[in-house]
């Protein structure tokens, strides 16, 4: 740890029991008392890392004297305490680190210099797919297939675990990254070299914010930023606006944590919190169980904030004890938080930029859908709203029906049928209040003789093995199994598109009738085309409601008025008849969950099972790349790189690769889901001797840039406005006469061969959703030099710069339509070269020349927001910047 210049005299000692720690007291900075909790954490971070160059006394004073009403304009350098990754985004991180080791050697440096300088932990949780379901051996079979598909990647990660210092891997089949983070990896108060300081982290998954529930400041970044943080680079950021969210009252019976989080998501999305911190305060916070806080923190990317944090209090300490943390650790957390003014005072009202309030007593049962987490629907209105929404999917009038005949009998499958009912992924699947409620609802349903409809694919993918422990202790597994909610794996499954295929006869009927069928999941992401290629409408719901919809079998259903079935006496059974009471749920939790459960599950968390331990592991400082590998390939970012900077140039004669509308997410841009045989990526794999059954998902092949470039902008729901009535990864190739339709990848290859740069035109909220590094990496490797959008989501804008792509914004109030841009024009962007002089221009001139020779001209706003970002852009990207820094 680099010594602080300590210009505020903040360095001192904290005695906890017999142990003494060095700390940096924030009470040495004027204005500290009334700062929000989250900014106190940042203030300590600056005091501890003050070096007079990157982190200055002026930055510290600016943070102490923060003007809550001002727009952010003061840049600070935040140094995260640790980095956490999941395997999809972690593999490219380790690939890049391995490549950097070789590049350092080529530039005359020492490869061993490339090591994580901040502790880094990777949890393998994104690779399990639900191929087998509804049977007792589903978990074993899915894990076997996972290892068959991912053996190459897993061997590579095992090499990384041995080759790099301060890098640990949590093997497959343990749980989701966020749950493992809060149950085991989070320190809350960190210690290193005798110094105690607040635990802070960045993660390569946008839902890293789940750890905010524990009072840990952290958020999701792209893999590109995470690599830089691992290599000791601070995260450049502006002191944000902080939205205070006051919680009052208590939840009514029948209302779940999911209902609360969907209500908060709806409120904050409407308020507008993109790029802001959200912090919860008030008496209602103390009444909120930690699992509920984590559930709320988890949804931060869905309302668009950078974080959604809760201060530390007794509830935090109780959770640390429950999950097996040592008494010394708990004592340090308490003493440190109280010493630094970071302990929750329910009566305190810190200065906030904006304030919102929610009385928890006003929350009603809710779901969200059919395509965004913020589209909340009160459960009582769900049937009516479905009738309205289904019209957007070609259903006008009566619901259509297709006959299905299969193993489970013959029936008619209608629009609105629930074909996937999945308790999965990170918002809820380790929150005992909703998970126990789901198990108890299943028990009540079985005892009433209810069954899930034959067309429903059911699954249970808990967030950690602890869930299995408490289901066993409460005797609930037999009932879940009976309804088909067998354990399928521990990981992010349905929520990230790993729902696996539907039964063939069901898939055939859906496609034959072009039916608008639905998925109901307890996750946090329900974007179009994400859950399953056959499913058009996706809904988020609490775990007990997921099962309720499995029993109902349709979204065209009113739980208040329609029975789920009949009992043995022929009486109608309604949802209210099987919904467990909150009192019974709490009693079951108290009886089934104890500290020893967590201690047992996490006793040897990095060791893995015999499958993991028996993987052959390569050795050595640098990785032996396999030229035949289709999973892990050495990327081209550093090819031909020298120590001298290549001057930044203006963009001349560019063509539009894609013209896109509003709310284009990183799911639309980044390769995700299954690889189709007739796609450019599918053809590449076939050319390398891989059969379609072994294609695996894009996520699993993130370590191979050749596959990933071919899947960028290839989402089946992408609408490129250069074409009419076409969905998917297609565009027009203006290098050919008549500009015929072709794939995005093939057009890019033609443009690059002709030496023609490319631009993307986009609308509002470009790049929202998960922090997918490949959304930026793929964009850069396709030859895109600039993106011109109406507005950006924070992480994607930052990642574009990190890959050397220039993010530009239309002038306020303007867009492609108002400027008369069709996307068929040739673009020239001038004024970019000012960056070579060490300044960042506020605007650059864009001239779009139409085919008839007329022009549209405008001054685009340059969205390089900080001096640090300007340095990255001048270097051609963040990795090149770090590499040059380490060698020099």
Place of tokens 């001038």: 830
Q: Where are the beta strands (DSSP E) in 93-138?
A: 120-123
Taking only the tens place, the pLDDT of each residue in 793-842 is 877 898 899 999 999 999 999 999 999 999 999 999 999 999 999 899 99
Residue 769: pLDDT over 80? no
When pLDDT is averaged across residues 606-618 and rounded to a whole number, the result is 89
Model pLDDT, residue 771 = 66
From the centroid of its chain, how far is CA 495? 10
Tokens of 91: 């593999």
Q: Report CA 833 to chain centroid distance, whole Å.
A: 35
pLDDT of 887: 83
**What is the C-alpha R_g of the chain?**
27
Shortest CA distance to 219 belongs to which of 271, 264, 178? 178
Residue 494 has pLDDT above 90, yes or no: no
- Residue 751's pLDDT is 98
540-563 pLDDT, tens digit per residue, is: 999 999 999 999 999 999 999 999
Return the higher-pLDDT residue of 500 and 334. Answer: 334
Q: If you average pLDDT over residues 519-532, what whole number do you get?
A: 90
Q: What is the pLDDT of residue 428?
A: 73
- pLDDT, residue 190, reads 97
Q: Residue 119 above 80 pLDDT?
A: yes
35-56 mean pLDDT: 95
Which pLDDT belongs to residue 561?
97
Average pLDDT of the residues in 514-526: 94
pLDDT attached to residue 1 = 64
Please check the confidence at residue 416 and state whether its pLDDT lies above 70: yes
Residue 322: partners with Cβ closer than 8 Å, 6 or more residues away: 593, 594, 595, 598
What pLDDT is stored for residue 531 in this prediction?
A: 92
- Nearest CA among 731, 741, 799, 813 for reference residue 766: 799
| Structural domains of the chain in order of their starting residue, each with its CATH number | 11-66 (no CATH), 78-130+137-237 (3.30.499.10), 366-593 (3.30.499.10), 651-670+721-887 (3.20.19.10)
Lowest mean pLDDT segment, chosen from 56-65, 107-116, 392-401, 856-865: 107-116
Per-residue pLDDT averaged across 656-682, rounded?
A: 92
pLDDT tens digits, one per residue of 233-292: 888 888 999 999 999 998 999 999 999 999 999 999 999 998 899 999 998 898 899 999
pLDDT of 453 over the 90 cut: yes
Average pLDDT over residues 417-444: 91
Contact status, residue 544 vs residue 437, Cβ threshold 8 Å: yes
State the DSSP string of 259-301.
HHHHHHHHHHHHH--TT-EEEEESHHHHTS-HHHHHHHHHTHH
User: What pLDDT is stored for residue 693 in this prediction?
Assistant: 84
CA 503 to chain centre: 29
Q: Would you state the structure tokens that stand for residue 660, as one six-digit string?
A: 């896109």
Q: What angle do CA 627, 129, 389 make, to 5 degrees?
A: 120
3-state secondary structure of 652: strand
> Which is nearest to 79 in space by CA: 212, 232, 220?
232
Q: What is the pLDDT of residue 228?
A: 84
* Residue-level pLDDT at 766: 95
In the block, residue with structure tokens 């589903």:
138
- CB half-sphere exposure, 182, CA atoms < 13 A: 35
523 contact partners, CB below 8 Å, separation of at least 6 = 422, 424, 425, 426, 427, 428, 492, 494, 495, 540
pLDDT the model gives residue 491: 86
Percent of the chain with pLDDT over 90: 78
| Residue 860, CA atoms < 13 Å, CB-side half-sphere | 31
| Higher pLDDT, residue 769 or 244 | 244
542: closest CA among 461, 620, 399, 431? 431
- pTM (predicted TM-score): 0.84
CA angle at residue 177 from 2 to 200, to 5 degrees?
A: 30
pLDDT > 70? residue 165: yes
pLDDT digits (tens, 9 = 90+) for 718-741: 999 999 999 999 999 999 999 999
């Amino acid at each position: 740890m680099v010594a602080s210049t300590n210009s505020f005299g903040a360095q001192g000692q904290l005695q906890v029991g017999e142990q003494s720690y060095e700390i940096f007291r924030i009470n040495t900075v004027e204005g500290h008392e009334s700062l929000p909790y989250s900014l106190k954490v940042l203030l300590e971070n600056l005091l501890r890392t003050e070096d007079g160059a990157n982190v200055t006394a002026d930055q510290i004073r600016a943070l102490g004297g923060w003007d809550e009403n001002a727009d952010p304009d003061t840049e600070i350098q935040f140094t995260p305490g640790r980095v956490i990754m999941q395997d999809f985004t972690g593999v490219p991180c380790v690939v890049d680190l391995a490549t950097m080791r070789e590049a350092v050697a080529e530039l005359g440096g020492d490869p061993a210099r490339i090591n994580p300088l901040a502790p880094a932990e990777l949890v393998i949780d994104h690779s399990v797919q639900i191929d087998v379901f509804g049977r007792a051996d589903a978990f074993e079979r899915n894990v076997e297939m996972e290892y068959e598909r991912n053996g190459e990647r897993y061997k590579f990660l095992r090499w990384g675990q041995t080759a790099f210092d301060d890098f640990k891997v949590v093997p497959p089949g343990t749980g989701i990254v966020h749950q493992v983070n809060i149950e085991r990896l989070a320190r809350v108060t960190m210690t290193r070299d005798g110094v105690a300081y607040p635990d802070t982290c960045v993660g390569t998954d946008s839902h890293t914010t789940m750890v905010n529930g524990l009072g840990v400041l952290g958020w999701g970044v792209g893999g590109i930023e995470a690599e830089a943080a691992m290599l000791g680079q601070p995260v450049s950021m502006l002191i944000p606006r902080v939205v205070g969210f006051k919680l009052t009252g208590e939840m009514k019976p029948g209302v779940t944590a999911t209902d609360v989080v969907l209500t908060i998501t709806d409120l904050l999305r409407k308020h507008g919190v993109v790029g802001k911190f959200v912090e919860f305060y008030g008496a209602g916070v103390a009444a909120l169980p930690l699992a509920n806080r984590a559930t709320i923190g988890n949804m931060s990317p869905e309302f668009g904030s950078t974080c959604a944090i809760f201060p530390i209090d007794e509830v935090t300490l109780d959770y640390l004890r429950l999950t097996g943390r040592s008494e010394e650790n708990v004592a340090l957390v308490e003493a440190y938080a109280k010493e630094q003014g970071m302990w929750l005072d329910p009566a305190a009202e810190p200065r906030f930029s904006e304030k919102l309030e929610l009385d928890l007593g006003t929350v009603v049962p809710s779901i969200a859908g059919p395509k965004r987490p913020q589209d909340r629907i009160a459960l009582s209105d769900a049937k009516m709203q479905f009738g309205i929404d289904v019209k957007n999917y070609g259903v006008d009038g009566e619901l259509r029906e297709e006959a299905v005949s299969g193993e489970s009998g013959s029936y008619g499958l209608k629009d609105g049928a629930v074909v996937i009912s999945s308790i999965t992924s990170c918002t809820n699947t380790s929150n005992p209040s909703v998970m126990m409620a789901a198990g108890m609802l299943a028990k009540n349903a079985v005892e009433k003789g209810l069954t899930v409809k034959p067309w429903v694919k059911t699954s249970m993918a808990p967030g950690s093995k602890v869930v299995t422990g408490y289901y066993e202790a409460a005797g609930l597994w037999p009932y879940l199994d009976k309804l088909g909610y067998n354990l399928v794996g521990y990981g992010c499954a349905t929520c990230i598109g790993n729902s696996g295929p539907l039964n063939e006869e069901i898939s055939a009927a859906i496609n034959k009738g072009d039916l608008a069928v639905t998925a109901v999941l307890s996750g946090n992401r329900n974007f179009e085309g994400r859950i399953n290629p056959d499913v058009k409408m996706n809904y988020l719901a609490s775990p007990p409601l997921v099962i309720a919809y499995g029993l109902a079998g349709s979204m065209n259903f009113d739980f208040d008025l329609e029975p789920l079935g009949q009992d043995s006496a022929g009486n109608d059974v309604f949802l209210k008849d099987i919904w467990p009471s909150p009192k019974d749920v709490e009693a079951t939790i108290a009886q089934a969950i104890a500290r020893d459960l967590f201690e047992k599950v996490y006793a040897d968390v990095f060791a893995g099972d015999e499958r993991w331990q028996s993987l052959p592991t390569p050795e050595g400082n640098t990785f032996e790349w396999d030229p035949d590998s289709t999973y892990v390939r050495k990327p081209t970012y550093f090819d031909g790189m020298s120590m001298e900077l290549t001057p930044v140039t203006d963009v001349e004669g560019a063509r539009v690769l894609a013209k896109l509308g509003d709310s284009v997410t990183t799911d639309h841009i980044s390769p995700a889901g299954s690889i189709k045989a007739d796609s450019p990526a599918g053809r590449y794999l076939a050319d390398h001797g891989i059969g379609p059954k072994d294609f695996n998902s894009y996520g699993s092949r993130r370590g191979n840039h050749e596959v990933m470039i071919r899947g960028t902008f290839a989402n089946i729901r992408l609408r490129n406005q250069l074409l009419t009535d076409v969905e998917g990864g297609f565009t027009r190739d203006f290098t050919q006469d008549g500009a015929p339709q072709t794939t995005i990848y093939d057009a890019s290859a033609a443009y690059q061969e002709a030496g023609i740069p490319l631009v993307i035109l986009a609308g509002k909220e470009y790049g929202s959703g998960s922090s997918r590094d490949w959304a930026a990496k793929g964009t850069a490797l396709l030859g895109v030099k600039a993106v011109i959008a109406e507005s950006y989501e924070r992480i994607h804008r930052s990642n574009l710069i990190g890959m050397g792509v220039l993010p530009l914004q239309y002038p306020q109030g303007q867009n492609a339509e108002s400027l008369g841009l069709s996307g068929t024009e040739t673009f020239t962007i001038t004024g970019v070269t000012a960056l070579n002089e060490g300044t960042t221009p506020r605007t650059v001139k864009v001239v779009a020349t139409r085919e008839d020779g007329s022009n549209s001209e405008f001054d685009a706003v340059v969205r390089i927001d900080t001096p640090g970002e300007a340095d990255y852009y001048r270097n051609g990207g963040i990795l090149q910047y770090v590499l040059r820094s380490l060698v020099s």
